[in-house]
Structure 1
């Protein structure tokens, strides 16, 4: 996400029950090299499927590691994204942390020598055989920090993908059928606009808008196109048919009122809340919202893969990475192993997450079964196309600012694509 998701920064807590207020460089970390403390960072909200599962994993870890203290700190996604290189190069690095996957993030840190090589542990503990090939792609990085081959630098113990979330009560209210094809999607959005309803909840200030545009490109793309863009297997051209269609169609959707011009300054959390409040009938975003929608939605809703394409944004989930300077690496490996256990994986699946090693028979919630079934269908047809901000460092910020200009109309599609090409070419590793 990018699994690029914003998380609220919470106070650090020791999950054995006592409150701990920490800051970088505090003396409280000085004794953490005795094998009795696991310093853990992640940015999953406590009510999310992953947050629930990781809290259960911490309890399980404490049962199997008596006398070991888990020092957990919930961080913001962008906080870790922006400060990781500096923190991991200091004595304040945690033993284990969640980090974004892809060339521009985990790949970059691996290239900089800031992450521990997990290859031997992945083989020893069987992680390499538990993960499907599509999910495994983001675990391994070569010497240039390019994903898909080389050494293991992270372990994803959930998966994620994007989908269309439909407020079925709103569709019913306006007597509009839920779309099964791309043409039906645009026809439905036309009908909502005619009723004075903006069809798509959107966030231009963060990841959501760029993901809409990338999905539009994927409707005209294939695996070769994805590998060219994400893995540098050939020359990527932002003025090709897929990218040109995406930029022009996205701009057209704004003109038609499918997407609000005011959404250029909206953040992802605001878009999700807007959908939860019934203000827009459709949200295209990731499975990371699923558990929250199950809990918070006060209306009937449904989800499906984006219509009209075999490819969608998705990958293995964010990675557990072990910093090179971690003081208690064995404890970190043990914790990763627990999150891969059937007990934790089954819990993750029943709470609205997409597990990578669950027992299918143990997933009893009908919506969760559909979520996992759709992901399995994507995996079988090699439909995971990763995320648009992954290829080069700093590209996320470029995509946000440039896509905002498309929303406001201050930039035309051709100029938009040219600016993306310039930033992309500048960041591609030289062979």
Structure 2
């Protein structure tokens, strides 16, 4: 997932690459499984840690369910994000699919009756014991679709978090070291700017700039703020110190040239490829980039926690969900359980996918170990602060638009916050009163 976290109004218009897998036989829904099928949707690339792990899980499923016809359809994150409700109201639905977590996504579909309640499966397979309570936050939703309590409507099997990836060669050439405070971070960026180098690979057309904004908000916040903003524990003051300081800081960083002048029109792919090519010394983004960075970068690189706060953007990974209209829920649950097995989880760990039930001792690569240790440290500190677009439906586009307005300097920080506040309040009311 990549939402601030990472269509086909009909399935026919989705960008789908079907991977027809070999037919095999048997399944938990019947004695033989003959004539049964399992359709899996996900949006991971073949080379990513998740893509490799899901491929292994599919092979295991095929071995254990001979006679079941397995079809995998690779979607795009944006397509599923925008069109899940339309697709899942029909009868031609996948049996299990990867989907974004949070109130505005999985929670919304759950509250509308479009996702199957997996609570009985969670107890049967022991998922409630396998996953820590903090990771279960994104798996459970109440009747209003609010995460953190209620029934199981999804199952996470990997973790993710946002950090700062950096080019060690460029750091050495500039004579700077890894910053541990926000002030030191700004000093590092000032040094690069003085040398004619834009410090941060960024993107305003999609999720990355919104995540940088939220990092800066979190640098001025505490756990109470996160609970208020994400879980509606109390009202949120969008013009209070946390939001104001974070938004004004981002506006200052844009003005000082810490990001490219055309950042508003850049995509996440633009950001990633420019960092991989060595154009920028740093990239603030998620662990979902790790496998690709490891495969494609030709220079020495590393990562460090975003400085300034123990609160970090992150959560469980995306969820496996089962549509309510799926005809093969038992088979879907079997597949989900396979993705939590050690042999699949260990592939995630070795490839940098932050497993939730793997054996850390199998990780041999130092960079992968550092990635996993960083996530474990955040979990231990109760530092997961989720994603800026999660609280209400449609907030992804609102946050992205607001960040573009900051980047273009077409709106002041206060005006952007007012826009965010209006959309948040409307969405919150819909959830709580609807």
Instruction: Give the TM-score taking structure 2 as reference length.
Output: 0.93
Q: Is the 8 A contact 1:143 1:150 kept in 2?
A: yes
CA distance in 2, matches of 1:4, 1:34: 39
Q: Which residue of 2 aligns with 1:341?
A: 341
Q: Which residue of 1 aligns with 2:208?
A: 208
Q: Which residue of 2 aligns with 1:241?
A: 241
Q: Deviations over 1:145-188 (max 9, x none)?
A: 00000000000000100000011011112222222222211101
Residue 400 to residue 3, structure 1, CA distance change in 2 (3 Å) = closer
Q: Which residue of 2 aligns with 1:16?
A: 22
Q: Which residue of 2 aligns with 1:305?
A: 305
SS of 1:70's partner is strand
Q: Deviations over 1:324-372 (max 9, x none)?
A: 0001111111100110000000011101110000012222222111111
Return the offset for 1:261.
2.4
Q: Which residue of 2 aligns with 1:30?
A: none
Q: Which residue of 2 aligns with 1:417?
A: 417
SS of 1:335's partner is helix
Q: Which residue of 1 aligns with 2:11?
A: none
CA distance in 2, matches of 1:101, 1:410: 32
CA distance in 1, matches of 2:401, 2:339: 36
Q: Deviations over 1:185-229 (max 9, x none)?
A: 110100000011100011100000010000001011111100000
Return the offset for 1:65.
1.1
CA distance in 2, matches of 1:10, 1:200: 33
User: 2:407 aligned with 1:407, yes or no?
Assistant: yes
CA distance in 2, matches of 1:300, 1:188: 18
Q: Which residue of 1 aligns with 2:192?
A: 192
CA RMSD of aligned residues (A): 1.6
User: 2:3 aligned with 1:2, yes or no?
Assistant: yes
Q: Is the 8 A contact 1:3 1:318 kept in 2?
A: no
CA distance in 1, matches of 2:381, 2:202: 28
Q: Which residue of 2 aligns with 1:47?
A: 47
User: 2:113 aligned with 1:96, yes or no?
Assistant: no
Aligned pairs for 1:86-125 (under 5 A) are: 86-125=86-125
Q: Which piece of structure 1 moves more, 243-252 or 8-17?
A: 8-17
CA distance in 2, matches of 1:217, 1:288: 22
Q: Which piece of structure 1 moves more, 183-192 or 146-155?
A: 183-192
Q: Which residue of 2 aligns with 1:274?
A: 274
Q: Is the 8 A contact 2:350 2:365 kept in 1?
A: yes
CA distance in 2, matches of 1:282, 1:115: 39
- Consecutive unaligned residues in structure 1, runs of 5 or more: 18-32
Return the offset for 1:140.
0.1
Q: Which residue of 1 aligns with 2:432?
A: 430
Q: Is the 8 A contact 2:159 2:316 kept in 1?
A: yes
User: 2:141 aligned with 1:141, yes or no?
Assistant: yes
CA distance in 2, matches of 1:148, 1:55: 30
Q: Which residue of 1 aligns with 2:30?
A: none
CA distance in 1, matches of 2:181, 2:81: 36
Q: Is the 8 A contact 2:35 2:69 kept in 1?
A: no
Q: Which residue of 2 aligns with 1:28?
A: none
Q: Is the 8 A contact 1:35 1:328 kept in 2?
A: no
Q: Is the 8 A contact 1:168 1:178 kept in 2?
A: no
CA distance in 2, matches of 1:387, 1:195: 33
CA distance in 1, matches of 2:268, 2:424: 24
Return the offset for 1:380.
0.8
- Structure 1's consecutive aligned runs of 4 or more residues displaced over 3 angstroms after TM superposition are none
SS of 1:383's partner is coil
CA distance in 2, matches of 1:214, 1:164: 14
Q: Deviations over 1:24-83 (max 9, x none)?
A: xxxxxxxxx966211000001111110010011111111111122210000000101111
- Consecutive unaligned residues in structure 2, runs of 5 or more: 8-13, 24-32
